C-alpha cells in the first residue's frame, strides 16, 4: 500500500483528528525512534510516520541545523506534530566547542562576520521538488542565521515552495534573521512569518504555533479514521492499510494461494497470516504470482512467542519464506517471555527497511499500559478477537485514543460459533432489511465501529461477499441492536 511522505500531519492536527494522548505517544515514538536510527548525517530519514503523495495536499519537510540540541528538539516536535519528513543540515566540517565560543574570534564568529561564507553541507535532500512546505530551523548566531543556512537555501530550487522559518535563542527574536534569507531564494518562494523559541520552550508551545498557521486542509485524511471511499485507514506509521481483507488462519498452502488469488481478483488487498499458520510461504508466493503491483498489497504476519528470543532471525526467516523485499506489518502474536525485546527487534527492522509497520495482537488495556512505556515506536495496529458476542467496547476506544488502529480477528465468531452468530435473529433481520447477508452486516458493523476486518474463507464467493460492504450503511438503531448482543463471550484463549 502507498506510504505517505508525511505531508499531511499539519492538516490532520488542524482537523482535530488525533487526540492529545495519541500525539504524546506518537511524538515520543518519533523522538526515540529517530534517536535510535541515528541516521542524521545530512540525509532524509524516516521516523515512525510517513505519507504517500496525494494530489491536493502539502508535503512537508522540516530542515534544521543544530549544534547544542535546542533547535533539534524543536524540529523533532514539529516533525511529530506535522508528520513531516526530517532533514538535519550537517556541516562537512563539524563545529567544535571552541568554534562556537562567542567573541573569541573563533570559526562561528568569523563566518558570521563574512556574509559570503558558505560552509559545506554533508549529504543532500533527496527529491527536494516533492515538498510544498519547508520548516527551516536554526539557532541565532550574532542576531542572524548561521551561514550554513545560506548554503542550504542556495543549494536547491525552492520555486513555489512555502518556507516557514523558526529559530532558537535565549533572547534574540527571529527578527531580520529570516528576512535576510529571502534574497537567497527566487521571488516565487512564499515566506511565512517565523517564530523564535527559547531554550525552555515546551512541546505545547510548538503545537500551538503550528495550529495557528492554519495551513490548507484540503484532502485531509486523519490517522485512524476510516476512508470509505478509498476503503483504507491511515496508520500512525504513515502507511495506508485496507480496512477489510482476508485472514488465512487454518488455510493450507494450496487453499491459501487460491484464496488469496480470489481476494486480489475481487479487489481485496489486505492479507493476514502468521508464523504459526504455517502458510507464510504460500502467502508470499500468491503475492509474487499476482498481477497486482506489490505496493498495492498489504501483508501482515506475526511472530509467535517461541520466536521472541531470536526475533531478528525470525523476521529474516519470514522475509525469506515469503520471498518479499519487505513485509508491510509484523505483529507480536500474543504476550510472552521476551516480548519487549522482540518488539525492539521489530523497531530495528523498521529502521532497516525490512518492515514498514509494527504492532501487537491480543494485547488489552492492562497489557498495553504495562508494555507501551517500555518501547519506542507506538504500535500502528492492535489485533484482537472482536465479534458481536465479544465486543471489547471498553478496549476499542482505549486503543483508538492512543492513535492505534484496531483490527478484529474472528469477526464472524470463529470456528464452531459462526453458524450461531450468522443465524442470530437480530442480525438476520437487519440483513433482510438491507438485502445483504448476515456476514456482511457483521463486517459492516465492525467497520462502522472503526475495526478493520479480516474474515477467513477459502470460498471465492464468500471472499467476494466479504468485500462487498459499501453498498449499504447500518443505522444508529441497527448498530445499537447489534451492540446489545454482547455476551463478553470469548471464543479463543488469547
Q: Which residues participate in catalysis according to the annotation?
A: 277
- Among residues 137, 141, 154, which one has the least CA distance to residue 106? 141
DSSP secondary structure letters along 77-135: HHHHHHT-EEEE--BSSPPPHHHH-TTTT-HHHHHHH-TT----BSS--TTGGG-SEEE
Cα gap 56→222, rounded to integer Å: 15
φ, ψ of residue 227 to 5 degrees: the values are -105, 105
Locate 106 and state its grid cell. 573563533
Cα gap 32→347, rounded to integer Å: 10
Cα gap 174→15, rounded to integer Å: 28
Task: Find residue 40's DSSP bridge partners.
Answer: none
CA-angle at 37, arms to 8 and 1, nearest 5°: 45
Cα gap 197→200, rounded to integer Å: 8
DSSP secondary structure letters along 311-380: HHHHHHHHHHHHT-S-EEEEEE-S--TTHHHHHHHHHHHHHTTSEEEEEEES--HHHHHHHGGG-SSPPS
Cα gap 467→9, rounded to integer Å: 29
DSSP secondary structure letters along 40-82: -SSSEE--S------TTS--EEEEE--SSSHHHHHHHHHHHHH
Cα gap 205→274, rounded to integer Å: 43
Amino acid at each position: 500500500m502507498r506510504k505517505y511522505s508525511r505531508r499531511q500531519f499539519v492538516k490532520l492536527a488542524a482537523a482535530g483528528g488525533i487526540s492529545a494522548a495519541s500525539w504524546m505517544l506518537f511524538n515520543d515514538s518519533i523522538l526515540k525512534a529517530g534517536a535510535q536510527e541515528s541516521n542524521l548525517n545530512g540525509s532524509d530519514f524516516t521516523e515512525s510516520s510517513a505519507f504517500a503523495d496525494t494530489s491536493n495536499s502539502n508535503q512537508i519537510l522540516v530542515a534544521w541545523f543544530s549544534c547544542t540540541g535546542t533547535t533539534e528538539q524543536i524540529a523533532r516536535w514539529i516533525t511529530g506534530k506535522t508528520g513531516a519528513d526530517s532533514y538535519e543540515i550537517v556541516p562537512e566540517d563539524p563545529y567544535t566547542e571552541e568554534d562556537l565560543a562567542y567573541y573569541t574570534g573563533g570559526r562561528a564568529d568569523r563566518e558570521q562576520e563574512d556574509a559570503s561564507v558558505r560552509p559545506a553541507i554533508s549529504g543532500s535532500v533527496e527529491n527536494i521538488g516533492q515538498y510544498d512546505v519547508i520548516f527551516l530551523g536554526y539557532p541565532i548566531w550574532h542576531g542572524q542565521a548561521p551561514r550554513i543556512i545560506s548554503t542550504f537555501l542556495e543549494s536547491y530550487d525552492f520555486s513555489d515552495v512555502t518556507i516557514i522559518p523558526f529559530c532558537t535563542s535565549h533572547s534574540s527574536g527571529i527578527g531580520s534573521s529570516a528576512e535576510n534569507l529571502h534574497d537567497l531564494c527566487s521571488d516565487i518562494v512564499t515566506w511565512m512569518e517565523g517564530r523564535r523559541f527559547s531554550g525552555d520552550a515546551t512541546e505545547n508551545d510548538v503545537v500551538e504555533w503550528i495550529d495557528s498557521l492554519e495551513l490548507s486542509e484540503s484532502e485531509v485524511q486523519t490517522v485512524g479514521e476510516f476512508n470509505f471511499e478509498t476503503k483504507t485507514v491511515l496508520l500512525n506509521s504513515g502507511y495506508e492499510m485496507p480496512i477489510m481483507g482476508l485472514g488465512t488462519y487454518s488455510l493450507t498452502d494450496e487453499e491459501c494461494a487460491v484464496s488469496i488469488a480470489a481476494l486480489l481478483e475481487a479487489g481485496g488487498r489486505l492479507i493476514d497470516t502468521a508464523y504459526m499458520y504455517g502458510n507464510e510461504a504460500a502467502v508470499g508466493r500468491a503475492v509474487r504470482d499476482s498481477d497486482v503491483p506489490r505496493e498495492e498489497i498489504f501483508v501482515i504476519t506475526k511472530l509467535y512467542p517461541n520466536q521472541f528470543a531470536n526475533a531478528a532471525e525470525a523476521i529474516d526467516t519470514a522475509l525469506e519464506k515469503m520471498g518479499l523485499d519487505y513485509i508491510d506489518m509484523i505483529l507480536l502474536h500474543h504476550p510472552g517471555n521476551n516480548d519487549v525485546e522482540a518488539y525492539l527487534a521489530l523497531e530495528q527492522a523498521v529502521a532497516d527497511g525490512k518492515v514498514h509497520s509494527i504492532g501487537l495482537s491480543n494485547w488489552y488495556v492492562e497489557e498495553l499500559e504495562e508494555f507501551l512505556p517500555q518501547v519506542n515506536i507506538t504500535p500502528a495496529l492492535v489485533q484482537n478477537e472482536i465479534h458481536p458476542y465479544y465486543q471489547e467496547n471498553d478496549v476499542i476506544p482505549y486503543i483508538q485514543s492512543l492513535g492505534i488502529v484496531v483490527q478484529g480477528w474472528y469477526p464472524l465468531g470463529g470456528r464452531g460459533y459462526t453458524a450461531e452468530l450468522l443465524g442470530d435473529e437480530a442480525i438476520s433481520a437487519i440483513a433482510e432489511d438491507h438485502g445483504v447477508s448476515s456476514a456482511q452486516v457483521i463486517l459492516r458493523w465492525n467497520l462502522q465501529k472503526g475495526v478493520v476486518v479480516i474474515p477467513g474463507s477459502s470460498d471465492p464467493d464468500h471472499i467476494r461477499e466479504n468485500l462487498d460492504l459499501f453498498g449499504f450503511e447500518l443505522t444508529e438503531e441497527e448498530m445499537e441492536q447489534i451492540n446489545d448482543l454482547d455476551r463478553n463471550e470469548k471464543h479463543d484463549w488469547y
